[in-house]
Amino acid sequence: MKSLKFMGDSQAALAEFPPDAKRHAGFELWQVQLGLMPSDFKPIPTIGVGAYEIRVKVLGQWRVVYVATA
């Protein structure tokens, strides 16, 4: 399983999501750790190769940006 490394205040920001949105985002990040793709995502080439945005639509819309490396 791949490890996660939170940058800056991203872990604290994720902790501020509503509980259901946080649970959904956590599941999507777990999928990424397993080498799978999230269920609702889009690449963000302006950030760089391997950068993606996970879109969480629970109690509003929430975004998690991650960069996957080999």
Is the pLDDT at 70 greater than 90? The verdict is no
61 CB-near residues (< 8 Å, 6+ apart): 55
Residue 23 identity (one-letter amino acid): R
**Of 52, 54, 62, the residue nearest 19 (C-alpha):** 62
**Distance in angstroms between the alpha carbons of the first and the last residue of the chain:** 12
pLDDT of 21-64, one tens digit each? 999 999 999 999 998 999 999 999 999 998 999 999 998 999 99
